[in-house]
Amino acid sequence: MTGSHPEVAPANTPLTPAAPEEAIDVARLRVAIARVSRRLRRHELAGLTPTQLSALATVERAGPLRLGDLAAAEGIAPSTLTRLVTALEDRGHVERCPVPADARASTLVITAQGRAMLERIRQESTSMLADSLRTLGSEQLAALAAALPALEQLADAEPRSR
């Protein structure tokens, strides 16, 4: 298999760690993660789209940010960015600040209102997930606790180019 990644199995192929009984159905894992993610996003997003919410969280985490840096971080086109930033500004979640060395440039910073809204959404999501976890048995909770480092590693991994 020249030029391929032998450690990456096709989507419908189970990945087999040390023992066959530990095989991972990748498609099933993807669906489960997607469903949990949708459930966590289903609550009130304070009138923001998921893209606006993601951009606001990026400004909070990495800001102040130039507009182009935000577009690159979020993988969105400049025209989409303009509408997105305008919506966040109109709601009072971000402010544009001039860059002293470049009169044409500005950076985005999160406002106290934007920070408070993100914190409320995070608390609601955490509470919803905690409620869901209460429906699991002790063995399932232990399995999730054991899987948490692997899930964190997956979340932090850079996607491979194909």
pLDDT of residue 89: 96
The pTM of this model reads 0.71
Instruction: Give the model confidence (pLDDT) of 32-80 as tens digits.
Output: 999 988 888 776 667 788 889 999 999 999 989 999 899 999 999 988 8
Asked if 92 and 83 count as a contact pair (C-beta separation under 8 A), the reply is no
For the domain spanning 46-140, the CATH number is 1.10.10.10
Inform me whether the pLDDT recorded for 2 exceeds 70. no
Question: Between β-strands 65-66 and 94-99, what pairing exists: parallel, antiparallel or unpaired?
Answer: unpaired
- In whole angstroms, give the CA distance from residue 32 to residue 150: 15
Nearest Cα to Cα of residue 8 among 26, 20, 29, 21: 26
Return the residue matching tokens 């001039």. Answer: 98
Nearest Cα to Cα of residue 107 among 123, 91, 95: 95
Cα 146 from chain centre: 22
Instruction: Give the model confidence (pLDDT) of 86-99 as tens digits.
Output: 999 999 999 999 88
Phi, psi torsion values for 24, nearest 5 degrees: -110, 120
Here the tokens at position 91 are 């709601």
Each domain of the chain, given as residue ranges in start order, spans 46-140
